[in-house]
Amino acid sequence: MEVVGYLESNSDKIDELAELRKELSGIKESLHPISDRGNQKVIDLQARFESKREDLFETKRERWIVDQFFEGLGEDLSVKMWKNVIVVPTSLSVQEESLELCKKGIDYFNELAGLSFVTYVEPERIRPYLELVDLNKKGNRFDFKSFLPAFRKRCNIDAYIALVDGSDFLVGSTDRVGGRADLSCHNSFVVLSRCLVKGRFSEDGFLDMDEAEKREYMMSLSAHESRHLLGRIPQEEASQVTSPDYFYSSSDHFNPDFGYKIEPHCLGISRFEMPVVLCDRCVEGIRAFWYGVEKRTGEKFIK
């Protein structure tokens, strides 16, 4: 489904829902989050909204698209929406090839999702800061939550951040690699984390990768984390274990009521199969979200 065209052709229905949603949001904002929990007026209005949504949009697939549009339309105004992504090493020991592979993964995600984010690597600009970090680093642990605020301020970074925390995987000194995205921590993700997630997989699936497969996997991992950071799919949608074959995969990938084909190569699955793609559900949800952001901000994020 071409999402933007679909949403534009159903603008009257969406406007009707938006009025109810605005009324609901206004009431919620006036209530105390604890003492007014379970407020009957909110419960009744939420039920009206859900009922109207099902009347206007018959299928679960349509409602998923509309819900993601509203997520983008109602995104917290305090959350900065940048148009660029900068790939950043956490140490001077990180190889340039690792940075370029991560950039390639982010660009590939943008291509699959049809988004217009610009990705760049600029290690020379931040080299003085990295020298200071390396000088004060203790052991092999890296506290990226402490690193990021000071890094943004000192280096004047006005972009999403993709941290690359080591090149061990490429040079053969480790057999596992992991990543994580953190929207609550300065809009960033980490690839090749040395202390947070390395080795979280129980299998030895990386042990027999050749050099080309390692590079493809690292690029794919970067694209997977980009799906969290830039795709803005709510995390709970990707954290339900519904099948032993698809660890941390979304139940909707397997729900025939949504009308989506099962795609084990999708970046939305933590144990994706290579070569990676984005399934139709992810593409539609991501584009709907950013179309909502475009309507709210008047800026362009979709190609």
* pLDDT per 10-residue tile (average), the chain, 303 residues: 94 92 81 68 87 92 92 72 89 84 95 96 83 63 69 84 72 56 61 44 51 83 87 53 38 63 81 86 93 92 95
Task: Determine, yes or no, domain membership for 166.
Answer: yes
Task: Determine, yes or no, domain membership for 178.
Answer: yes
Task: Determine, yes or no, domain membership for 110.
Answer: yes
Task: Determine, yes or no, domain membership for 180.
Answer: yes
Task: Determine, yes or no, domain membership for 302.
Answer: no
Supply the pTM of this predicted model.
0.83
Task: Determine, yes or no, domain membership for 277.
Answer: no
| Tokens representing residue 71 in the block | 């997520």
- At 250 the pLDDT is 45
Distances (CA, A) of 145 to 29, 53, 133, 226, 300: 30, 39, 13, 18, 30
Task: Determine, yes or no, domain membership for 219.
Answer: yes
Task: Determine, yes or no, domain membership for 132.
Answer: yes
How many structural domains comprise the chain? 1
- At 172 the pLDDT is 58
Domain span including residue 213: 84-229
Reference 125, options 95, 151, 101; nearest CA is 151
Q: Which CATH number does the domain housing residue 190 bear?
A: 3.40.390
